[in-house]
Structure 1
Amino acid sequence: MNLAVGLPEKMVYGEDREMMTAIRKVPVAEAYLSKESFEGDGVADKKHHGGRDRAVCIYPFEHYALWEEQFGQRLPAATFGENLTVTQMLEKDVFIGDVFQVGEAVIQVTQGRVPCNTIDRRMDMAPLMKAMVKTGFTGYMCRVIEEGAIRRDSEIRLVERGKGEVSVLYANDVNFHQSRNAEAIRRVLEAHALAPEWQDWLTKKLIKLTE
């Protein structure tokens, strides 16, 4: 597992364009995780990132090889701005509501990560963001149930399986590609641990479909 944190900083991309972003996180040996975020971690765009339901960002390490092969470029640690880079925790195998013990902390999966074009800008790898959305290989976000210290060698252990058995990959597919499938939307909404923002978004879609 890789553990990384970072605060917003100026990033130059494209033809000398600038933006504030915290995507360039730095590997650390240990960090304390509170309800809000890791100590030393932050976001620049608070409207679309961060908050208690998105306190931790996780990305499966297995996808790195796919993107490196597809784009012909080596990727540094925490390329996608994730806090935890993990193995054997793919989106198809992790469910909304899953509870994990990580070091001293306990976290719960709340939603798939919604990628933004900052990912393309960081590595100059457009259309990586579109490829992530197409495949659903976005990683996922978690809320913090119990605060505590996490080390890069901490074990990640499944404590409880999310009710409804809605995988992150399925939720991503519905959100990105099946926005007119009322039955699929209902199934995702049955995952009670789903982040309120996704609950509101999908509920509005469902109302429009069933009016």
Structure 2
Amino acid sequence: MSSSARIHSLNVGRSEPNPVKKAIPTGIGKRPVDEVEVRAPGPKKGGLGSGLVGDFVGDQRHHGGDFQAVYAYAREELDAWQDRLGRELPDGMFGENLTTTGLEVDGAIVGERWQVGDEVVLEVAGPRIPCSTFASRMGEKGWVKRFTEVGNTGAYLAVVVPGTVRRGDPVRVLSRPDHGIDVRVAFRAFTGDLDAARRVLEAGVLNAVDHAELQETYDKRSRAGLAG
């Protein structure tokens, strides 16, 4: 991590129609703001949705909650996608709340903690899994497959210490577990890599709901492999 790691852009979304989920609006279209209050939103179902006050989460079955309270993506990765796609990608284009610079977001270890500015502490909870709403927003053929193949998903974060986050705030890694499971490995675990799934499960780094979901998937695929 660079000593100049910081929040390049701070982004929130409002409720908008979702072209792929007609009955459920989306907040994926983020717009920059100068500062925002951050707090733990509670459970995914029945909670406040986003960890950012004023940020909208539509599909609370799959998004939001304490372990997806804040979504961070590196500006450097957006720049790399600009080169691949040959188009401009503004801050917030991937639906991220925090567009960072100088920070190893995808190389972050699950469970490591970041201090943002003077008050807020966030904990890396896991990877972002691309969905149909994301694909619709991008409008690129085979987007989910392309995004998955690159494997730099950005990180979902839990709120450990609430407070105000401001654009330009420095980011400092406070602590880092030694289990070695980073965001990229966790993403591979959820997208079919059985070895990665085994490593993640053995390390016990996920919250209980995600751990149980990954365990079920791993068991099914392992049995299918043995049967085959």
User: Structure 2 length as normaliser, TM-score?
Assistant: 0.81
Measure the CA separation in 1 of the matches of 2:16 and 2:78.
24
Quote the residue 1:2 is aligned against.
Answer: 9
* CA shift in 2, pair 1:19/1:45, >3 Å: closer
Post-superposition Cα deviations, 1:173-194, rounded to whole Å, max 9, x if no partner, equal 2221313x3xx32321244442
Quote the residue 1:71 is aligned against.
Answer: 85
CA positional deviation for 1:93: 2.1
Equivalent of 2:150 in 135, 141, 154: 135
Q: How does 1:48-197 map to 2 (within 5 A)?
A: 48-103=62-117, 104-179=119-194, 181=195, 184-197=196-209
Is the CA contact 2:39–2:162 (under 8 Å) kept in the aligned structure 1? yes
Measure the CA separation in 2 of the matches of 1:105 and 1:171.
24
Aligned AA for 1:29?
Answer: D
Is the CA contact 2:30–2:95 (under 8 Å) kept in the aligned structure 1? yes
Between Structure 1 and Structure 2, how many residues are aligned? 205
CA positional deviation for 1:204: 1.6
Measure the CA separation in 2 of the matches of 1:33 and 1:151.
10
* CA shift in 2, pair 1:91/1:189, >3 Å: farther
Quote the residue 1:47 is aligned against.
Answer: 61
Post-superposition Cα deviations, 1:54-89, rounded to whole Å, max 9, x if no partner, equal 000011111112222222211122001100011233
The worse-fitting range, judged by mean Cα deviation, of 112-121 and 4-13 is 4-13
The residue matched to 2:217 in structure 1 has which SS? helix
Measure the CA separation in 1 of the matches of 2:52 and 2:199.
32
Measure the CA separation in 2 of the matches of 1:96 and 1:102.
17
Post-superposition Cα deviations, 1:75-109, rounded to whole Å, max 9, x if no partner, equal 12200110001123345521100100112111101
Post-superposition Cα deviations, 1:131-160, rounded to whole Å, max 9, x if no partner, equal 111111111101111101000111111001
Aligned AA for 1:30?
Answer: E
RMSD of Structure 2 on Structure 1 (CA): 2.2
1:20 aligns with 2:34: no
Equivalent of 2:40 in 35, 51, 60: 35
User: Structure 1 length as normaliser, TM-score?
Assistant: 0.88
Is the CA contact 2:16–2:27 (under 8 Å) kept in the aligned structure 1? yes
Measure the CA separation in 2 of the matches of 1:130 and 1:163.
31
1:204 aligns with 2:216: yes
Structure 1, gaps ≥5 residues long:
none
